């Protein structure tokens, strides 16, 4: 979400991001802490089994193709 995307809507960035996030499968947009926790986990030996995976941070927007 960029400022240009909400220009002229009368909504601030926070309100626009909340509106967009509410339309997704999990009902909100990502928060920095959640992404930081994933990065922290990925940097530990506990995630050594996870190799070569592309993990989208899109709140479930990517369709399940399995």
Pairwise CA distance, residues 16 & 10, whole Å: 9
pLDDT value for 11: 63
pLDDT tens, position by position, for the chain (66 residues)? 455 555 555 567 778 777 877 887 888 887 889 889 988 988 899 888 888 888 887 777 777 665
pLDDT value for 40: 92
Q: Which of 36, 5, 16, 23 is nearest to 57 (CA)?
A: 36
């Amino acid at each position: 979400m960029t400022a240009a995307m909400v220009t002229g809507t009368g909504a601030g960035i926070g309100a626009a991001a909340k509106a967009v996030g509410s339309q997704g499968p999990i009902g909100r947009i990502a928060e920095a802490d959640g992404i930081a926790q994933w990065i922290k986990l990925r940097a530990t030996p506990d995630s050594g089994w996870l190799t070569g995976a592309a993990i989208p941070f899109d709140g479930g927007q990517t369709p399940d193709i399995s």
